[in-house]
Each structure stands twice: as structure tokens, then as C-alpha cells.
Amino acid sequence: MAIVIIRQDGKIPEWKEALSAASPSTPIYSYLEEHPKEAIEMALVWKHPPGALRPYKNLKCISGSGAGVDFIFNDKEAPLHLPITRVVDQVLAKDMSEHVIGVILAYLKNLYTYKVDQANRVWKPLQYKRMGDYRIGILGMGALGVVLAKDLLHFGFPVQGWSNSKKNIEAVRSFVGQDELSDFLDTTQVLVCLLPLTENTTGILNKTLFQQLPKGAFVINVARGGHLVDEDLLEMLDNGHLSGAGLDVYQEEPLPVSHPFWAHPKIHMTPHYASVSDTRSVVPQILENYRRLQAGEPLLNLVSKERGY
Ligand code: NDP
Ligand code: OXD
């Protein structure tokens, strides 16, 4: 009975140490070291190389170590019939909320523009923008979207959300499904994408959707690069329909240096760092699932294979 960690971002030692400290009797291995493959029952994965799960014939669960699991479904060699779990964590949600609020405030308070003006020694006060005048629309009202919505209310923003199922959050208008998407977009001045990447949401941030936003809207994508049609965003920024975009995720990561986003004056980029699983906070739910797996109990934070999230 053991756990293998499979990821390529240099963070295996951090995860191994945190898991071992919390459960010294559980054998934890890096997929890169010699280890008994037949003993592995749980694989803790983050953007693992496709096919990396193949050697584990006794695997009982694929545990994603972030919120999004699109990379697991994309591995056609993965044993997708096994239970797949993901991270649902208050720290991850709060971190995301802080990041998105930071981007919204930098936009509304013109901080991006003033930074450029400073570099050029330009003194040019712009129209003052107040939070209460800008409605924030959140695509995806799940573990992250709901926390963001509630935090935005504290800042005085009007807030609305779009999801598959109706949400009952005081003071947050809930829009559901394709039928209500247009009404949601019509009244959204700052759009935040916090959807999972699935068959239904791939390419959702496209020209048709942008055209339904009011002129001058600002778009924030902190979900996945696959949600955005890059050329449609560039067109809508260049023709002035959108006033800017804050991007944290990209079709290809790291974003190739030749990509037009890098030098675009209306695009404000961060390197897929809006929110990062904190091992201190996340390790207990991984180990609880490992215990449940052995006890034959229902797992926490199960992903639905039908919905893809
Ligand atoms: P959840 O699964 O908790 O929430 C997903 C939300 O999207 C739900 O409200 C769901 O509706 C809604 N949704 C899904 N598909 C559709 C659809 N076709 N139409 C309408 N609504 C839909 O996910 P999380 O909040 O935990 O995470 C969201 C995403 O954020 C992750 O999948 C990941 O890609 C991204 N992420 C990015 C990070 C970063 O650093 N940039 C960090 C962490 C996550 P319903 O509630 O009705 O099911
Ligand atoms: C996640 C992410 O999905 O970091 O958790 O993108």
C-alpha cells in the first residue's frame, strides 16, 4: 500500500516531505525513484507525462493535486475507469479570490496605465472609476467562483454568476445554462472565467461571447488557456470592443516568446500563478482519501466522469 507522486514542476520533494510528515507510516514515492510499482494504490498527479500511470497495475485512485483535472482526462492512457479526485480547499479559493480582486482593482484604479505613464514621465489623470459602478460576472460558480463572489460583495461590487445549476447566494444573481448566458453577458462589465475545461467549455471565450459583453468590458481568464480563442481576444481588444484582459493561463505554457500576448498593451499577464495548492492545507484531504480508499469508504471531492469536472 503506497502513494506515488507524479509531476514535472520540481515540487515532488515538497509534496513528499509534507505527506511523510503528516503520515510517517505511509510509503510515499517519487515516480522518478526506484519503487515497488505493484504496491502503489494512489497516484498523486499534476500535469503528469501522458502514459505515466501505465506501470501501476494495482492503482485504485487517481488523485489530482490541483482543482482542475482536465490534464487527467487528456491522458488517453490513464485508467480513467478508476475514481478521480481533485482538490477543494479554502486556501486555494481564498488565494484565487485575492488574485482576481488584485487584477480587477489594478484595472479599475488604472494602475496598469499609470505604471506605463510613469515609465514615460507622463502626468495624465484618467476618468475615476468606482467599484459600485462595475458589475462583475463570474463564469463558473463552483468552489472558487463562490468564494470570489462573496469577497467581491464585501468590496461593494455588484456580482452575478453563471453555472450549470442555480445558486442561492444572497445578493448574487444566478444565471443558469446556455439559455441565460446572453442576459448574463449583457450586464457584465468585468468577466471572470473560473470554469473547468471540458468539452462544453473549450473555446467559450470567443468572439461571439465577447460581442455580447458591453463595449469597454474587461476580461479575466484564470481558468485554463483552452477556454480562450486567442485570436478572437486580440481582435476584440484591437477594435476597441474590449478595454483589456488579465490572463493567468494560456493554450501553451510557458507561453512561447513569439506569442502576441506578451507585447500587447491591453493584456496583463501572470504565469499560471493565480492560485497554487498549499501542501500544508491540502495534504490532510489527500491522506484522508488514502485512508478511505483502504477502508472502502466513499472518497472526498470525487470528479464526475460524465460532466468532466
Ligand atoms: P468547480 O468544479 O468547483 O466549479 C466549476 C463551476 O463551473 C461550477 O459552478 C459549474 O456549475 C460550472 N460549470 C461547469 N461547466 C459548465 C457549463 N458547461 N456551463 C455552465 N457552468 C458550468 O471548480 P473550481 O471552482 O474548483 O475550479 C474552477 C477551475 O479553476 C478549475 O477547473 C481550474 O481549471 C481553474 N483553476 C485555475 C488556477 C490558476 O492558478 N489559474 C488554480 C485553481 C483552479 P455547477 O456548480 O452547476 O456544477
Ligand atoms: C489548479 C491550478 O487547477 O493550479 O489547481 O491550475
Write out pLDDT tens, residues 228-242: 999 999 999 999 999
Task: Please measure the distance between the N-terminal and C-terminal CA atoms of the chain and give it in whole angstroms.
Answer: 27
Give 247's pLDDT tier (boundaries 50, 70, 90): very high
pLDDT over 70, % of the chain: 100
Paired strand residues for 219: 191, 245
141-200 pLDDT, tens digit each: 999 999 999 999 999 999 999 999 999 999 999 999 999 999 999 999 999 999 999 999
pLDDT score at 202? 98
Determine which one of 99, 135, 224, 268 is catalytic: 224
Q: What is the distance in A from the centroid of ligand 2 to the CA of 203?
A: 18
The Cα angle at residue 94 between residues 93 and 99, in degrees rounded to 5: 100
- Say whether 154 is catalytic: no
Q: What is the distance in A from the centroid of ligand 1 to the CA of 123?
A: 41
179 exposure class (CB count in 10 Å sphere: 0-12, 13-18, 19+): exposed
CA 227, CA 251: separation in Å to the nearest integer? Answer: 8
Ligand 1 in contact with 140 (CB < 6 A)?
A: yes
pLDDT, average across residues 15-26: 98
pLDDT score at 67? 98
| Ligand 2 atom nearest to CA at 249 | 6
| Ligand 1 atom nearest to CA at 99 | 40
What DSSP state is assigned to residue 304?
P
pLDDT score at 148? 98
| Ligand 1 atom nearest to CA at 198 | 15
- Say whether 272 is catalytic: yes
Ligand 2 in contact with 96 (CB < 6 A)?
A: no
CA 122, CA 300: separation in Å to the nearest integer? Answer: 54
CA 140, CA 201: separation in Å to the nearest integer? Answer: 10
Ligand 1 in contact with 193 (CB < 6 A)?
A: no
103-143 pLDDT, tens digit each: 999 999 999 999 999 999 999 999 999 999 999 999 999 99
> Which residue type is seen at 179?
D
Backbone phi, then psi, for 101, in 5-degree steps?
A: -65, -40
Paired strand residues for 162: 139, 175
pLDDT, average across residues 17-32: 98
Q: What is the distance in A from the centroid of ligand 2 to the CA of 36?
A: 29
**Best of 175, 195, 277 to mutate for ligand 1, by most ligand atoms within 8 A of CB?**
195
65-98 pLDDT, tens digit each: 999 999 999 999 999 999 999 999 999 999 999 9
CA 117, CA 44: separation in Å to the nearest integer? Answer: 46
| Ligand 1 atom nearest to CA at 204 | 18
Give 46's pLDDT tier (boundaries 50, 70, 90): very high
CA 38, CA 113: separation in Å to the nearest integer? Answer: 57
pLDDT score at 118? 98
What pTM value is reported for the model?
0.98
